Amino acid sequence: MMNRLKCILTYDGAGFEGYQIQKEKRTVQLEVQRALSRIHKGTEVKVSASGRTDAGVHAVGQVLHFDSLLDIPEAAWQKALNAHLPKDIWVKKVESVSGDFHARFDVVKKEYRYKVSLAKDFNVFDRDQVYHYPYPLDLEAVKEACGHFIGEHDFTSFCSAKTEVEDKVRIIYSLDVELKGEDLEFQIIGNGFLYNMVRIIVGTLLEIGQGKKLPRDIFSILEARDRGAAGRTAPAHGLYLWNVVYDDN
């Protein structure tokens, strides 16, 4: 009997050309399908993820599903996958789900986080995991601006011009920023995100923190529906796909 498995995984994006398979490139999907193929003695197994992540972007809770004829308990699936995966991918959980579960189409909410270090000194140990931004920052202005994103908006201004998606309306449920010592962390939850959307939001918020833009400028930037109105795209290596929520959670 065919079983559908839901799989939660974490990966360090530094060594990957993103999630999705591309010819000749090292991607997360390639490594997962390679591990599954070994477990299935050479048979190809296709996986579907909640969405792509770009080169350098990390995941703490990426979700994917696949189908298998193998009858293996959930904990043994986790062990087998981790034994066959490289050390920069780790399967946190494998769950048996109903055959109509779909990792991409059933997403209800997604949470991303973005990590920034304001420390003067560069930290060699997290150089690929945190955006080093050693500049003074007006945290109150950033917090005020965060509030202006909440709700349903057309996010054309906060989306890479390269995108092909037509409907650019998304709902942001929460956008918070927390400063612990010199570490700044953005947390954003929404019903879906456009290409580069979190990185452009963070880039714009950092410009507001620098005083180059004002918190209230968010209103006119959203209104403009023009990528040129927003700030720069923050680099990929500070971004984490943190959690994907489905109806059953």
The set of catalytic residues is 54
Q: Are 111 and 243 in contact (CB under 8 A)?
A: yes
Rounded to a whole number of angstroms, the minimum distance from the CB of residue 82 to a copy of itself is 7
- x/- map, 74-103, a copy of itself, by CB under 8 A: --------x----xxxx-x-----------
Helix axes 28-39, 74-84, angle to 10 degrees: 120
- Reduce the DSSP state of residue 159 to 3 states and report it: coil
Known binding residue 114? Answer is no
**Least distance from a copy of itself to the Cβ atom of residue 38, Å:** 19
Q: Which of residues 20-59 bind a copy of itself (CB under 8 A)?
A: 58
If you ran DSSP here, which 8-state letter would residue 98 be given? -
For the chain, the maximum distance between any two Cα atoms, rounded to a whole number of angstroms, is 60
Residues of this chain, 100-159, that bind a copy of itself according to CB under 8 A: 121-127, 129
Looking at the DSSP bridge assignments, the partners of residue 112 are 188, 241
Specify the residue, 190 or 238, whose C-beta has the smaller distance to a copy of itself.
Answer: 238
To a copy of itself, the closest distance from the beta carbon of 206 in angstroms equals 21
Tell whether residue 166 is a contact of a copy of itself (CB under 8 A).
no
Hey, what's the torsion of the CAs at 51, 57, 58, 59, to 10 degrees? -10
Tokens of 203: 């880039």
Which residues are near a copy of itself by CB under 8 A? Answer: 10-12, 58, 82, 87-90, 92, 121-127, 129
Q: Which residues are annotated as a binding site for substrate?
A: 112
